[in-house]
Structure 1
Amino acid sequence: MEWWQILIIVLAVVAVVLAILYFVGKKMQKKADGQQAMIDQQKMTVTILVIDKKKMRIKDSNLPKIVQDQVPAYLKLRKMPLVKAKIGPKITTLLCDEKVFKELPVKKNVKVDIAGMYIIGIKNYKK
């Protein structure tokens, strides 16, 4: 085989791989947009007292068994940002967005946006 034939075959394979990645990425983007729309629809603003925050595995946290079963397998192996907070009289463990986790102050009253058991944003906090 000539060198230019090998080059054409390699370019064809690269083009096919890029086309597959394009369509898979497009499909995943639609799925993510649908999930984001559902989160925006479900969110509500609540005042919480942040007791503790740490990154740990889902199975090591004290989240309900139903929530642990719904988490995808690839996320069960990762350390997730978890926040232990007091919402009204009840102390619960909440999942948190990575950006929000970095900004969230400990031992403070914070007004946050929550969708289910997921903290998606900080409105403000009292110092």
Structure 2
Amino acid sequence: MLIWVIVIGLALFGLHIWGKRLKKRYDEQQQLINQYKQTVQIFVIDKKKDKPENLKLPKQIKEQIPKMYQKRKMPVIIAKIGSQIQTLMCDENVYNNIPIKKQVKVEMAGVLVVGIVSGKLAQPEKIGFKQKMQNKLKNIQNKNNE
């Protein structure tokens, strides 16, 4: 039993150190993004999720994508910036909120869309009385099950 406690303790300690390293790396990347971000007005033509190998991204950017992400589908936006049409990568929450076929002002760091500054964003759908009651019932049932 003592051996199991020691093994589990070492595993948790290892995960703690690994988490610290990941957080440090994330903070460094976030600092670089904040340093280089600019506000730009774009016209969103299309948005989709696709693998980096199928996208029209510059060669340097394709080389910098980690191997872990090269086989995954990434959220991208095809937008017109000035007179050029470019493929831009974006965060998942930006991808969900950005409207199609609209002019939007966004924050960009290179080819990464970091945030939406202004524009006509999609309005959340109104929830009817019946749906509100169903949601409350589900919440109550989830609390009772826990």
Please give the TM-score of this superposition, normalised by the length of structure 1: 0.93
The answer to whether 1:69 aligns with 2:74 is: no
Instruction: List per-residue Cα deviations over 1:36-79 (Å, max 9, x = no partner).
Output: 01100100000000000000000011111211111000100110
Report how far residue 17 of structure 1 moved: 0.4
The answer to whether 1:11 aligns with 2:5 is: yes
The answer for unaligned runs of 5 or more in structure 1 is 1-6
1:83 aligns with one of 73, 77, 85: 77
Identical pairs, percent: 44
SS of alignment partner, residue 56 of structure 2: coil
Residue 105 of structure 2 aligns to which amino acid in structure 1?
K
Structure 1: which 4+ aligned runs deviate by more than 4 Å? Answer: none
SS of alignment partner, residue 78 of structure 1: coil
SS of alignment partner, residue 23 of structure 1: helix
Contact preservation (8 Å) 2:94, 2:114: yes
CA distance, structure 1, for counterparts of residue 12 and residue 98 of structure 2: 39
**Correspondence for 1:47:** 41
Instruction: List per-residue Cα deviations over 1:59-109 (Å, max 9, x = no partner).
Output: 011111211111000100110001000000110000011000000000000
The answer to whether 1:110 aligns with 2:104 is: yes
**Correspondence for 1:4:** none
CA distance, structure 2, for counterparts of residue 27 and residue 86 of structure 1: 38
Report how far residue 19 of structure 1 moved: 0.4
CA distance, structure 2, for counterparts of residue 28 and residue 19 of structure 1: 14
CA distance, structure 1, for counterparts of residue 54 and residue 93 of structure 2: 22
CA distance, structure 1, for counterparts of residue 30 and residue 60 of structure 2: 21
CA distance, structure 2, for counterparts of residue 39 and residue 32 of structure 1: 11
Residue 89 of structure 1 aligns to which amino acid in structure 2?
S
The answer for unaligned runs of 5 or more in structure 2 is 122-146
Report how far residue 30 of structure 1 moved: 0.7
Give RMSD over aligned pairs.
Answer: 0.9
CA distance, structure 2, for counterparts of residue 62 and residue 34 of structure 1: 27
* Structure richer in strand, relative to its length: 1
